[in-house]
Amino acid sequence: MFTKKKLFCAIAGSVFAASVSASASAEGVYVSGNIGYSDMDDTKTSGSFSSDFTTGPGTSIPAGVSLPAGTRVGWDTSVDSGATYSLALGYQINQFRIEAEYASARNDVKSHDGVGAAGIDLTAEDAGVLVSGAPANLGVSVGDLVAAGEGEFDSRFLFANVYYDFDLGMALTPYVGAGIGNASVDVSYSPSGVTIIDDDDSVFAYQLMAGATYQMSEQLSLFGGLRWRQTDDIQVDADLFDAEFEVQMDSLVAEVGTRWKF
């Protein structure tokens, strides 16, 4: 009986030690970094004149037409894919990870089209219509002026993230995650060298993540995944005329990175 008791205690002690060891190995501080491909969706730049706007000489629209403050104006903006990277400091608690992340992304503007104001399509109008007091036509249509994108979205993010790792008893561990934070976004539109918008805004941002981690060693892991990153509408002012715009920004990011646990 005594022998059985000692054997039971030895087994229980071994199991407890193994559990403590496993728990300890599943906890700790880590740092991570990744690079990725940011596929930003095309967006709609929509807004209104902040003050009364008087047209310049267009093609069919004469100079001197007054559009009151609040008149809607906008266009569609096509955006190229770009690069993104992030750095994070986190803490793992068994299958959960919490972290603070800094990320950056840059996407060039490809082109603009569908420029309209007060419900009127301005694509075929001479670009002089957008310049109050212009003495004559500029000799280029609004559509041709904005077709040569020339601009960018330059974004910096701060996120608080939470991840859950699905322990399958293998070196490859799937994960899902979510994060909320802040985005500081610089918006620049300078088609054909004409600065239409050059402004920035700071807005709420969130992201959803999914991927898999491969355990290289007790400390080093490699991971790859996808994330959907979105912000509240970005509010910017125009330079070419007195108007305010809202710009939507959301991106699908494919990424690879490394994680080092201390």
Please state the domain extents for the chain.
Answer: 28-261
Q: What pTM, to 2 d.p., does this model score?
A: 0.82
Helix (H, G, I), strand (E, B), or coil: what is residue 91? strand
The position carrying tokens 């950056």 is: 104
Q: Which CATH architecture has domain 28-261?
A: Beta Barrel (2.40)
Alpha-carbon distance 197 to 23, whole Å?
53
What 8-state DSSP symbol labels residue 142? H
Listed in order, strand segments (DSSP E) in 23-150 are 27-40, 43-49, 53-54, 66-67, 72-79, 82-93, 96-117, 120-121
Asked if 232 and 185 touch (Cβ cutoff 8 Å), the reply is: no
DSSP 256: E
Residue 160 has a pLDDT of 98
Q: Which of 102, 224, 126 is nearest to 172 (CA)?
A: 224
Q: What integer pLDDT is reported at residue 15 of this predicted model?
A: 36
Q: How confident is the model at residue 2, as a pLDDT?
A: 44
Q: From its phi and psi, is residue 207 left (phi > 0), alpha (psi between -120 and 50) or beta?
A: beta
Q: Which of 35, 87, 25, 21 is nearest to 219 (CA)?
A: 25
CB neighbour list of residue 135: distance below 8 Å, 6 or more residues apart: 57
- What pLDDT shows up at residue 120? 92
Tell me the mean pLDDT per 10 residues along the chain, length 262. 45 39 65 96 94 93 93 94 96 96 96 92 93 89 88 96 93 95 96 91 97 93 97 94 93 97 93
